[in-house]
Amino acid sequence: MFIPLAKPSFGPVEKKLVKKAMDTGWISSIGSFVEQFAREFARAVGVNYALPVANGTVALHLALITAGVGEGDEVIVPALTFVASANAVTYTGAKPVFVDIEPDTWNLDLGKVEAVITKKTRAIMTVDLYGHPVDFTAVKKLCRKHKLAFISDSAESLGSKYRGRPVGSQADVATFSFFGNKIVTTGEGGMLVTGSKKIYDTAKLYRDQGKNIKIHPYFHPVIGYNYAMTNLQAAVGIGQLRRLKSFVRNKRRIADRYRQLLKDTPGISFQKEQKFAQTNWWMFSILVDQKKFGHSRDWLIKHLAKKGIESRPFFYPLPELPPYKKQNRTKNYPVTCKIAAAGINLPTFADLKPSQVDLIAEIISSVASV
């Protein structure tokens, strides 16, 4: 028996659309499914514009370009997230400025943001860690006060809601990822969404090698990038997107079951869903208090592996990574360091069976304080 951490779920619709794309011969970045995926995605998250791209990282890079971020600028980034958030800032020549996270949502601690805003600060990038939305209203208020761009890294939160509305429409620009372990996958892929035509047009220009076909098929007024999504990927995405609601529903049931089964286990705690949020529980996660649980986080990961259960530790604190450590002081991120050292992501894929959740929870609870 082996239960993976993540597993994509494909149905007949995805296979039918991929075959159709192959039959037409349009398999690269030109094809009807690319635009169709963009339209359906924009409608799903409640925005005017959606731009399919090669992956979530390049979506972030494009978002930063549209905000005018460049050499010498600073962008505020949470200290606990996947490294792509910081790397995308670095690609522009700007510097990521890390801020600690909240102990309950594990998202950017807005109470600590103003202290690091300088004349060089150009934008705030938030991340909906493991699917839980940030308090978008509070972030927008802060951005307006300091005249900063608001970029939402929503790579993990597709299908989550903020005050009843889908995540994606709250920031100046938001980005999503369709990597193989995401709630909707195209293997590799991403999406940039916005309510601004100016932002959309700029992102599209840079996505397509800086090409402006209105002037000439091969006129390039800027140095752009090859960041396009293929028609094959978009075909998969259309089929996946149509199943998003069922994916979220299943994952919320899985999370509820985990919480019910583990709530009385000594030393185990969870990410706390806020009243303003309805998370997609992209990756249900636990914190292990070694003293109360009786074993370390790393011991539990190894123990689960011996039982055929794949899990993984939380992201590494970004300020402690070699490319960023010299420009940051880890003592400024106590919550990040504590949570990163205690966190485990558990299997939460949409097709995970209740009996499998029961087994995983039993393995964890059975060794508590032993």
Look up the CATH number of the domain holding residue 301: 3.90.1150.10
Contact indicator for 158, 130 with CB cutoff of 8 Å: no
Residue 220 sits in the same domain as residue 104: yes
In a domain, residue 6? The reply is no
In this model, does residue 331 exceed pLDDT 70? no
Contact indicator for 266, 245 with CB cutoff of 8 Å: no
In a domain, residue 211? The reply is yes
Residue 236 sits in the same domain as residue 182: yes
In a domain, residue 7? The reply is no
How many separate domains does the chain show? 2
For residue 275, with 0-12 CB atoms within 10 Å meaning exposed, 13-18 middle and 19 or more buried, which class applies?
A: exposed
Range(s) of the domain holding residue 27: 12-241
Model pTM above 0.95: yes
pLDDT of residue 1: 86
Residue 65 sits in the same domain as residue 128: yes
- Choosing from 95, 182, 211, 251, the catalytic residue is 182
What confidence tens digit (pLDDT) does each residue in 225-259 have?
Answer: 999 999 999 999 999 999 999 999 999 999 999 99
325 is catalytic: no
Residue 223 sits in the same domain as residue 282: no
Residue 120 sits in the same domain as residue 136: yes
In a domain, residue 5? The reply is no
In a domain, residue 174? The reply is yes
Q: DSSP letters along 254-277, please?
A: HHHHHHHHHTTSTTEEE----TTE
Residue 81 sits in the same domain as residue 201: yes
Identify each DSSP E strand in 80-172 by its residue range: 95-99, 121-127, 149-153, 161-162, 165-166
In this model, does residue 300 exceed pLDDT 70? yes
| Residue matched to tokens 């919320």 | 252
Residue 232 sits in the same domain as residue 248: no
Residue 223 sits in the same domain as residue 122: yes
Q: Confidence band (pLDDT; 50, 70, 90) for 329? A: low
Residue 207 sits in the same domain as residue 276: no
Residue 191 sits in the same domain as residue 259: no
**Averaged confidence pLDDT in the chain:** 97
In a domain, residue 1? The reply is no
Residue 340 sits in the same domain as residue 199: no
pLDDT of residue 213: 86
In this model, does residue 153 exceed pLDDT 60? yes
Among residues 207, 225, 241, which one ends one of the domains?
241
Torsion 348-279-110-90 (CA) sign:
positive
Among residues 241, 271, 302, which one ends one of the domains?
241
Residue 220 sits in the same domain as residue 268: no
Among residues 194, 211, 241, which one ends one of the domains?
241
In a domain, residue 64? The reply is yes
CATH number of the domain that residue 152 is part of = 3.40.640.10
pLDDT of residue 326: 85
In a domain, residue 275? The reply is yes
